[in-house]
């Protein structure tokens, strides 16, 4: 490291000496040209003033940042810095000479010629050095560098090609782009060789080693097509992150990454009204239940960035609570963070927590969600997902909470399982209390999230790592997917839109085939589906649907101020009847009477259809009377 530092200092000193010499030379040339090339060295304004010119110009160049740029990467920005330095330099020199001797004996034309010569003398050596280095890299390292074909000739592709040409590892040999207007074009000397459909032929002709997908704004379908074409070549391929994930100031080459599942399944970039979200959360005390789970933990991360007065995390898993607490304390050392171990079903603990901290906003993410496991444990599903929600809602209202956000699931729509039915009852509770309470009680409903605990993606990852087989329940099964950060951001957006009693449905895009998901995950691991790793269809599990729905046919969807959030018009319910049902559920839980619980759930959610084929029925839900 000391040797590296000394080399950097030596190079900077050499650049400084070069520029000071050129500043003096520019002044000499300006005076020489002004005197028709017949100047003698003892004339006033030459030797006497040159040292002062050099000192003043050196300080100005340092101030304008002319020494921060590397000659190896000299660019228009560096030329602009030189031009600024020359302009400010001549103005400083003119002012100094005016104060010193009123510019006596100094022709005004010298002050015009000097910055022109200075820009030429400082800019030309830098550009020549860059051209020499680029030429040297292209000649000496061409055989050793990996030959890269770039898919996409837009701004990202151009930036990537430029970085590669300046580096020593990759050599761009061409672009492919479907834009017909770019036919025959060259970017930084790299030719456009055709459209994406020409990929196999171009790979053979150009001896390509690596393919890079430079389309960070590509749609889901465009990304899938590009990946499919890359897979046919059997060559390694990389991609740039989505536009929303690119780090500001990071070069395109540094951002290259393996193609991930999110690149194939993610949808269009979601734009949020962060000003509205901040106004709803900044300076508030926020409670997140289930804060150690996948959704809850990401909500904690998002909320912690918004300058809340205090963040309370309520979690029953000791390890999960410890993990998210340590993460947040490391990233946000000034955050007022309270990590509370407890269960939403524990009424005394919930009352104590809310009485002590008085949260103004609550995100209720604590829930049991494993469909097959809960099918035979209806008591636990009801106790946690229904009665735990009631306990928390009643305590929140009692202790002055202003906003309560209940996180629901698409499995609550025409449920075919106990888990979905329990979440539907929680939705009914939220609707009923939302229109009766001064507290804004909002429900947000969405589908699966990529990588959440217990979801299909981590299961497939483990199966692929073990060499297979990958198990899919049915060849026709589909699910809605979104990323965890996107889901949490839309939850926060819905929390500031709602007035109370609404059910907001997040636009999940198009459903994704689970079989397709399995095939893509196998391919992304570098293996071939059916050949290296087999896919086995095991049949639908108890309570599992072939497809999920985001809203019931009796819920009329209306738009909201956010294009990715829709309002599902609530189905009515009778509060006295609902209260009686909830009391009966509580008594049945205390008695551990599962048959009674199952019957009560069926009465409260008559559209529940636990049919063996997993297809939802067309039963019209009855009003609770």
Catalytically active residues, by annotation: 411
CA distances in angstroms from 582 to 68, 176, 186, 432, 600, listed in the order given: 69, 62, 70, 12, 9
* Residues in Cβ contact with 406 at an 8 Å cutoff, skipping those fewer than 6 apart: 364, 389, 393, 426, 427, 430, 441, 442, 443, 444
Specify the DSSP class assigned to residue 474.
-
d(CA 427, CA 422): 9
Question: Shortest CA distance to 362 belongs to which of 483, 420, 280?
Answer: 280
Respond yes or no on whether the N-terminal peptide bond of residue 376 is cis (omega within 30° of 0): no
- The contacts found for 239-245 with CB under 8 angstroms, 24 or more apart, are 239/212, 239/213, 239/214, 239/215, 239/263, 240/156, 240/160, 240/212, 240/213, 240/214, 240/215, 240/216, 241/216, 242/216, 242/217, 242/266, 242/269, 243/216, 243/217, 243/269, 244/269
Q: Check: CB of residue 497 under 8 Å from CB of residue 504.
A: yes
Cβ(313)–Cβ(338) under 8 Å?
A: yes
Would you say 273 and 296 are in contact if contact means Cβ atoms under 8 Å apart? no
| Both tokens assigned to 613 | 């084929």
Taking alpha carbons only, the member of 335, 359, 319, 313 closest to residue 495 is: 359
For residue 190, give every residue at least 6 positions away whose Cβ sits within 8 Å of its Cβ, in sequence order, or none.
Answer: 150, 161, 165, 172, 173, 174, 175
Show the CA angle centred on residue 502, arms to residues 497 and 507, nearest 5°: 70
Parallel, antiparallel or unpaired: strands 440-446 and 403-409: parallel
**Residue whose pair of structure tokens reads 């329990």 in the numeric block:** 422
């Amino acid at each position: 490291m000391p040797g590296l530092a000394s080399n950097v200092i030596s190079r900077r000193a050499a650049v400084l000496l070069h520029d000071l010499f050129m500043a003096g030379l520019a002044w000499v040339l300006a005076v020489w040209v002004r005197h028709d090339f017949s100047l003698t060295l003892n004339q006033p304004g030459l030797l006497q003033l040159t040292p002062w010119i050099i000192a003043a110009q050196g300080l100005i160049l340092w101030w304008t940042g002319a020494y921060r740029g590397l000659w190896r990467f000299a660019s228009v920005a560096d030329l602009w810095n030189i031009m600024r330095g020359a302009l400010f330099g001549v103005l400083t020199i003119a002012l100094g000479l005016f104060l010193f001797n009123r510019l006596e004996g100094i022709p005004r034309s010298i002050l015009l010629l000097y910055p022109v010569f200075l820009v030429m003398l400082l800019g030309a050596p830098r550009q020549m050095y860059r051209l020499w280095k680029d030429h040297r890299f292209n000649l000496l390292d061409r055989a050793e560098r990996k030959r890269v074909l770039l898919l996409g000739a837009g701004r990202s592709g151009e930036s990537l090609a430029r970085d590669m040409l300046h580096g020593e590892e990759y050599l761009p040999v061409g672009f492919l782009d479907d834009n017909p207007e770019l036919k025959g074009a060259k970017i930084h000397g790299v030719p456009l060789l055709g459209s994406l459909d020409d990929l196999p032929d171009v790979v053979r002709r150009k001896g390509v080693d690596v393919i890079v997908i430079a389309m960070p704004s590509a749609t889901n379908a465009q990304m899938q097509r590009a990946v499919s074409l890359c897979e046919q070549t059997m060559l390694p391929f990389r991609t740039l992150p989505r536009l929303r994930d690119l780090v500001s100031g990071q070069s395109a080459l540094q951002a290259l990454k393996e193609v991930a599942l999110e690149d194939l399944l993610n949808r269009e970039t979601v734009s949020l009204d962060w000003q509205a979200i901040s106004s709803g959360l900044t300076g508030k005390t926020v409670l997140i239940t289930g804060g150690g789970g996948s959704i809850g933990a990401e909500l904690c991360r998002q909320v912690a960035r918004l300058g809340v007065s205090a963040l309370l995390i309520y979690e029953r898993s000791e390890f999960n609570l410890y993990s998210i607490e340590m993460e947040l304390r490391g990233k946000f050392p000034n955050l007022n963070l309270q990590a509370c171990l407890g269960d939403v079903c524990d009424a005394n603990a919930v009352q104590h927590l809310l009485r002590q901290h008085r949260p103004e906003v609550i995100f209720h993410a604590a829930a049991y969600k494993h469909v097959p496991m809960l099918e035979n444990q209806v008591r636990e599903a009801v106790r946690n997902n229904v009665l735990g929600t009631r306990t928390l809602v009643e305590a929140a209202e009692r202790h002055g909470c202003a906003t309560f956000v209940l996180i629901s699931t698409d499995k609550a729509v025409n449920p075919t399982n106990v888990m979905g039915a329990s979440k539907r009852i929680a939705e009914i509770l939220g609707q009923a209390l939302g229109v009766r309470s001064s507290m804004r009680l909002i429900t947000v409903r969405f589908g699966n999230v990529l990588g959440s605990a217990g979801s299909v993606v981590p299961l497939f990852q483990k199966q692929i790592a073990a060499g297979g087989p990958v198990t899919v329940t049915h060849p026709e099964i589909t699910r809605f997917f979104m990323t965890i950060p996107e889901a949490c951001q839309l939850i926060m957006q819905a929390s500031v839109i709602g007035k109370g009693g609404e059910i907001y449905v997040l636009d999940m895009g198009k459903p994704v085939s689970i079989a397709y998901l399995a095939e893509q995950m196998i391919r992304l691991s570098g293996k071939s589906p059916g050949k290296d790793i087999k896919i086995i269809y095991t049949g639908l599990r108890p309570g599992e649907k072939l497809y999920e729905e985001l809203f019931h046919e009796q819920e009329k969807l209306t738009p909201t101020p956010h294009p990715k959030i829709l309002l599902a018009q609530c189905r009515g319910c009778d509060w006295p009847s609902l209260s009686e049902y909830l009391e009966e559920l509580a008594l049945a839980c205390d008695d551990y009477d599962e048959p009674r619980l199952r019957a009560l759930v069926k009465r409260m959610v008559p559209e529940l259809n636990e049919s063996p084929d997993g297809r939802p029925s067309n039963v019209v839900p009855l009003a609770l009377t």
